[in-house]
């Protein structure tokens, strides 16, 4: 009997071992995470990793942030590292810049980037220029972050996009995430960077959930600043966007695909330094270009892309002039029907693509 039992148990043990080994080899499944949760997770991991990192801004601590992006961080890290400030952007931005010069790594949250205009002297003159003016002796490792661009029903003074404003200034790095993967990877890279980084989020994207791939769930996950991502492969036309309009471009591409038009959609991720090489490589393949942004047209991100393409090797590959899709050249109206017509919609992108392709 003992011999028989041994013969039976042997194969069972082997089978059990195989099953265990296969189970442990399985990759972690992707999870659903909102953009808000992704930024929160990224900041939490960096606060835990480096005691020099701290967050300050209006309502970021006890209230968990105006948009709940810093939810739970005050309870976890306390008053010294999650700091509520008075309503004084120039004051607390100056405190943050000084802290960065002293060796800390502040994350300075603006309740909206429209309010950063109160602190723009600190962002540009104090943070962006100091490393250069000190001949590389004084780094300023700081992150300025918060919602940027049009929201909904908040009118002209709370609806502008600052990508072109801050992207214009040497000394700054400027990132603009679209989905949860972008948000987590870019906030972590921004915090670790030794240069001042402006992170332009979008209020309307905070509550949108995206699938976070397995590699992005790691505490070591970073997205390199200055690298764009091809979100959809295509052969007929290149469509370049950043932030919320990336989603509109993908929706337009899905509609156009049914008509036999294959769009290559590029998510810029970084405004400065811009990954112009990725755009050039795509244009050399598709021979057509459309840029999409929520900001105003004059001196905008799309204008810069078009100029760089014209000046570079990809220009000779264009079969038609590049076309820009932008926000309307007006202060944002309050009325909803006017507001909807002042920012790019899916139909506007479809129209621009067909115009470029002469369809």
- Report yes or no: 235 and 198 within 8 Å, Cβ to Cβ: no
Contact 127, 97 (CB under 8 A): yes
Q: How far apart, in whole angstroms, are the C-alpha atoms of residue 290 and residue 202?
A: 22
331: DSSP letter: P
Please, where are the H alpha helices in the chain? Answer: 2-25, 35-49, 73-77, 89-101, 120-121, 129-133, 163-167, 180-192, 245-257, 276-286, 301-311, 336-340, 346-356
List, for residues 326-357, the tens digit of each pLDDT value. 999 999 999 999 999 999 999 999 999 999 99
Q: Are the C-beta atoms of residues 243 and 271 closer than 8 Å to each other?
A: no
Instruction: Give, in order, the Cα–Cα distances in Å from 244 to each of 42, 212, 336, 344, 358.
Output: 20, 17, 18, 10, 27
Alpha-carbon distance of 29 to 46, in angstroms, equals 23
Which domains, from first to last, does the chain contain?
Answer: 32-217 (3.40.50.970), 229-357 (3.40.50.920)
What pLDDT does residue 30 have?
73
Residues classed as catalytic: 89, 158
User: What average pLDDT score do residues 156-177 get?
Assistant: 96
| Phi, psi (deg, nearest 5) at residue 109 | -95, 125
Within 8 A by CB and 6+ apart from 114, the residues are: 157, 158, 159, 160
- For the chain, the residue count is 359
Say which residues have a Cβ less than 8 Å from residue 129's Cβ, sequence separation at least 6: 171
Contact present, 259 and 235 (Cβ < 8 Å)? no
pTM (two decimals): 0.89
Span 310-335, mean pLDDT?
Answer: 96
d(CA 344, CA 136): 41
How far is 166 from 204, CA to CA, in rounded Å? 21
Q: What is the mean pLDDT of residues 204-226?
A: 95
Confidence at 300, pLDDT banded by 50, 70, 90: very high
In this structure, what token pair is assigned to residue 306?
């078009």
Distance between CA atoms of residues 114 and 118, nearest Å:
8
Phi, psi angle pair for 9, to nearest 5°: -70, -30
d(CA 356, CA 186): 32
CA distance 89 to 104: 19
Spatial distance between the Cα atoms of 140 and 196, rounded to a whole number of angstroms: 6
Phi, psi (rounded to 5 degrees) for 261: -105, 120
Nearest to 293 by CA among 206, 208, 200, 358: 200
Other Cβ atoms less than 10 A from the Cβ of 114: the count is 20
Average pLDDT of the chain, as a whole number:
93
Strands (E), 98-196: 105-109, 143-147, 173-175
Question: And the tokens for 109?
Answer: 């949250």
Q: Which pLDDT belongs to residue 18?
A: 47
Rounded to whole angstroms, how far apart are CA atoms 145 and 201? 7
Rounded to whole angstroms, the Cα distance separating 122 from 171 reads 13
Helix (H) / strand (E) containing 266: strand 263-267
Q: Give the pLDDT confidence of 15-38 residue by residue, as tens digits.
A: 445 444 554 555 566 789 999 999
CA triple 166-223-207, angle to 5 deg: 75
Q: What is the pLDDT of residue 151?
A: 86
- Read off the pLDDT of residues 105-154 as tens digits, 9 standing for 90 and up: 999 999 999 999 999 999 999 999 999 999 999 999 999 999 999 988 88
How far apart CA 204 and CA 149 sit, in angstroms, is: 10
């Amino acid at each position: 009997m003992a011999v028989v039992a041994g013969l039976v148990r042997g194969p069972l043990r082997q089978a059990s071992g195989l099953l265990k080994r296969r189970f442990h080899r399985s990759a972690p499944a992707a999870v659903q995470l909102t953009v808000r949760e992704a930024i929160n997770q990224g900041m939490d991991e960096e606060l835990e990793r480096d005691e020099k990192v701290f967050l300050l801004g209006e309502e970021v601590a006890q209230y968990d942030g105006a948009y709940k992006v810093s939810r739970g961080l005050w309870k976890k890290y306390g008053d010294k590292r999650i700091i509520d400030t008075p309503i004084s952007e120039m004051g607390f931005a100056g405190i943050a810049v000084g802290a960065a010069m002293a060796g800390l790594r502040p994350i300075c949250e603006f309740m909206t980037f429209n309010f950063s205009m109160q602190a723009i002297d600190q962002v540009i003159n104090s943070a962006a220029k100091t490393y250069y003016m000190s001949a590389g002796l004084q780094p300023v490792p700081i992150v300025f972050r918060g919602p940027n661009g049009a929201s909904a029903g908040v009118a002209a003074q709370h609806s502008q996009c600052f990508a072109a404003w801050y992207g214009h200034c040497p000394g700054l790095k400027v990132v603009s995430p679209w989905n949860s993967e972008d948000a987590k990877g870019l906030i972590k890279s921004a915090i670790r960077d030794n240069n001042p980084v402006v992170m332009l989020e979008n209020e309307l994207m905070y509550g949108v959930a995206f699938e976070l791939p397995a590699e992005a769930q790691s505490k070591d996950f970073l997205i390199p600043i200055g690298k764009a991502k091809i979100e959809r492969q295509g052969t007929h036309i290149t469509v370049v966007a950043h932030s919320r309009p990336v989603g509109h471009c993908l929706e337009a591409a899905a509609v156009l695909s049914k008509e036999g038009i294959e769009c290559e959609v590029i998510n810029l991720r970084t405004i400065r330094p811009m990954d112009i090489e990725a755009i050039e490589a795509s244009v050399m393949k598709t021979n057509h270009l459309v840029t999409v942004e929520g900001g105003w047209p004059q001196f905008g991100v799309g204008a810069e892309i078009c100029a760089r393409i014209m000046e570079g090797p990809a220009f000779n590959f264009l079969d038609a002039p590049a076309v820009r899709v932008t926000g309307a050249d007006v202060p944002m109206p309050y009325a909803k029907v006017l507001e909807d017509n002042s920012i790019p919609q899916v139909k506007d992108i479809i129209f621009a693509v067909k115009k470029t392709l002469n369809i």
